[in-house]
């Protein structure tokens, strides 16, 4: 009886301190979540940069269409994504690597700045002739 009680207490404490929310099969892997979230961020940026400038398109409808395409590409559903996101958000130790990889990916992309060639027909200083090249 002296040995049973401490073993019972240790088992009870180990069970009580364990992760209560176990990852089941319907939760997407960290890699899948990262890829889907990356594509969703890119879709949001597309809507922000191009769709908002087109007055004939609805931002919300275009976002929904793009998200559905993303879910189709990654062979998942909105419900599975939401469930996975809830799981990872409730486990910060698992969610942080996902967010860190997204930030790292974003920082690795250099913005494309188009170079413009000066207009040679425009005379900058009146009275001065442009030299011919």
CA angle 120, 125, 127 (to 5 degrees): 105
Half-sphere exposure of 115 (CA within 13 A, CB side): 1
CA angle 85, 70, 82 (to 5 degrees): 20
Every domain of the chain and the residues it spans = 26-107
Full 3-state SS string of 62-118 = HHHHHHHHHHHHCCCCHHHHHHHHHHHHHCHHHHHHHHHHHHHHHHHCCCCCCCCCC
**pLDDT surpasses 80 at 133:** no
pLDDT of residue 53: 77
15-60: pLDDT as tens digits: 555 454 555 778 999 999 999 999 999 999 888 888 777 777 788 8
């Amino acid at each position: 009886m002296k040995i049973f009680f401490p073993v019972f207490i240790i088992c009870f404490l180990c069970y009580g301190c364990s992760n209560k929310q176990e990852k089941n099969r319907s939760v997407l892997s960290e890699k899948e979540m990262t890829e889907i979230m990356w594509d969703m961020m890119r879709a949001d940026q597309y809507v922000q940069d191009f769709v908002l400038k087109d007055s004939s398109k609805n931002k919300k409808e275009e976002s929904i269409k793009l998200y559905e395409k993303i879910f189709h590409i990654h062979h998942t559903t909105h419900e599975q994504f939401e469930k996975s996101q809830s799981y990872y958000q409730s486990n910060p130790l698992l969610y942080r690597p996902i967010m860190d990889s997204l930030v790292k990916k974003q920082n690795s992309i250099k913005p494309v700045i188009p170079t413009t060639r000066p207009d040679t027909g425009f005379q900058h200083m009146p009275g001065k002739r442009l030299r011919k090249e």
